[in-house]
Amino acid sequence: MDFILEGLVTAVRLLAGLDPETFSAVWATLAVSGLSLTATLLLGIPLGFALGYFQFPGKRVVRTLVETSLSLPTVVIGLVVYAFLSRRGPLGDLGLLFTVSGMAIGLTILGLPIVLAITATAVEGLEERLRFTLLTLGANKRQVALASLWEARFAVLLGAITAFGRIVSEVGIAMMVGGNIKWHTRTITTAVALETNKGEFGQGIALGCVLMVIALVVNLAAGFFRRRAKP
């Protein structure tokens, strides 16, 4: 038990003293998570809405592929992104390997199927009477589509929170694509894994506490939006 207490004391000291190494991992985490989540939502919400709202040939196949990608191993995503971004890969000239932007690409691929699947399911679950009622009231196709998306807003918000949780807690992709470079691409999760393996429990506990605070803030913000968005 002594090492746990010592780790807690060290964690408090690091956080209170604004330890540069500790907060470097925090800023890297916020940067890569922000980029990834923004890209995930910008792509996932309209694509998920289209998948759930429209009927088109091959829809069942696309839906199956999206749902299958929900369980895609993260090491496979990391391996594929690494292969594409490495010097010998087709995107090697962009110099994105071992960068925050490169990590964001891999984490976007991880979070995108979550938002896609949850948004599509939410839109498909809307009552058919909604569309007919709106058309009866004189709404055009664009207005009907926007109103349908608004009705599914809480499920979309759930998808965003779930994707964020998966993105911010990922280790494998961040390690493989980012390289866990100190002061540059070392995130909270990769730093916790590294410091714990080194026996540096203090910094691991400090970063774990920060990660929980970030998750709490995001969920509080989502709850605030949900309350404000209620009719």
Complete domains list, the chain, with CATH: 2-229 (1.10.3720.10)
Burial of 221 (0-12, 13-18, 19+ CB in 10 A): exposed
Cα–Cα separations (whole angstroms), residue 188 to 23, 24, 155: 9, 9, 28
**pTM confidence score:** 0.88
| Dihedral angle of Cα 147, 230, 223, 149, to the nearest 10 degrees | -10
Q: At residue 159, what is the residue type?
A: G
- 148 Cβ partners below 8 Å, 6+ apart? 49, 53, 123, 126, 130, 131
Is 147 in contact with 102 (CB distance < 8 Å)? no
Q: At residue 141, what is the residue type?
A: K
pLDDT at 1: 55
Q: At residue 46, what is the residue type?
A: P
Distance CA 103, CA 32 (A): 7
pLDDT at 102: 93
pLDDT at 46: 94
- Going residue by residue through the chain, which has 231 residues, state the pLDDT in tens, using 9 for 90 and above: 555 666 666 667 767 777 788 788 889 999 999 999 999 999 999 999 999 888 889 888 999 999 889 888 899 999 999 999 998 889 988 889 999 999 999 999 999 999 999 999 998 887 777 776 776 667 777 887 888 888 888 889 989 999 999 999 899 899 999 988 888 898 988 888 887 777 777 777 788 888 888 888 888 888 887 777 666
Token pair recorded at residue 159: 């998808």
Distance CA 155, CA 157 (A): 5
Cα dihedral across residues 66, 71, 76, 78: positive or negative: positive
